[in-house]
Amino acid sequence: GAVVSQHPSWVICKSGTSVKIECRSLDFQATTMFWYRQFPKQSLMLMATSNEGSKATYEQGVEKDKFLINHASLTLSTLTVTSAHPEDSSFYICSAGGGRTEAFFGQGTRLTVV
């Protein structure tokens, strides 16, 4: 199957700083990518849909000014958690579509804000 690479795998940052997470489709072009968040022992919840060359679409309750998404190329989407706080500590995982019938997931990023 297609490969989606996410970087970094884990990051620890101080409260108030910003963190950027990258999601790359390595062997295919992705006009749309998706960002999910998973709190400990909970399910994966869709945060936003990243659209190449246009604004991201955020799910209800997700602050667009806090979670900045940039999809500047067909192979790269970035999620920046701005002014991170301990409650933003979570597992973030991206996916990119392989046509209408499947999605390929990155390895995920475990963010810890101290």
Binding site for other proteins (CB under 8 A): 1, 32, 34, 41-46, 49, 91, 93, 95-103, 105, 107-108, 110
Minimum Å distance from CB 30 to other proteins?
A: 9
Taking the least distance from each CB to other proteins, the nearer of 18 and 42 is 42
Taking the least distance from each CB to other proteins, the nearer of 32 and 82 is 32
Taking the least distance from each CB to other proteins, the nearer of 52 and 82 is 52
Taking the least distance from each CB to other proteins, the nearer of 1 and 86 is 1
Minimum Å distance from CB 35 to other proteins?
A: 11
How many angstroms separate the CA atoms of 83 and 8, rounded?
18
How many angstroms separate the CA atoms of 78 and 93, rounded?
11
61: left (phi over 0), alpha (psi -120 to 50) or beta: left
Minimum Å distance from CB 16 to other proteins?
A: 25
In the DSSP assignment, the letter for residue 14 is: -
The residue whose two tokens read 């996410």 is 6
**Do 79 and 65 form a contact (C-beta atoms < 8 A)?**
no
